[in-house]
Amino acid sequence: MIDQLAAEKLASRMLAEHGVAFIWDTHVAAAAAYGLGEPDVARALIEIAEAAENEWLQPSLRRYPLHDA
């Protein structure tokens, strides 16, 4: 399990750098990790993706591109 504050900071930084696609890509990476027998890694990636999604869903914070240009 990843520290909540660390997940939020990482999620925020990655959203700023990669846009909303980061959320989907992180969920895909979590599925791959789980499929490779790494449930702890998958769980950490899901926590990061969910932190990013929570930030994305806050309209006052929505300042990230919908996709990479």
**pLDDT (tens digit per residue) in 23-63:** 999 999 999 999 999 999 999 999 999 999 999 888 665 55
For residue 28, is it within any domain? yes
For residue 54, is it within any domain? yes
Give residue 61's pLDDT. Answer: 55
pLDDT category of residue 3 using cuts at 50, 70 and 90:
confident
For residue 56, is it within any domain? yes
pLDDT category of residue 69 using cuts at 50, 70 and 90:
very low
Sign of the Cα torsion 20, 25, 28, 29 reads negative
For residue 66, is it within any domain? no
Kindly give, in sequence order, each residue whose CB lies less than 8 Å from that of residue 29, ignoring residues fewer than 6 positions away.
45
Give residue 63's pLDDT. Answer: 58
For residue 22, is it within any domain? yes
Q: What is the pTM of this model?
A: 0.81
Give residue 48's pLDDT. Answer: 96
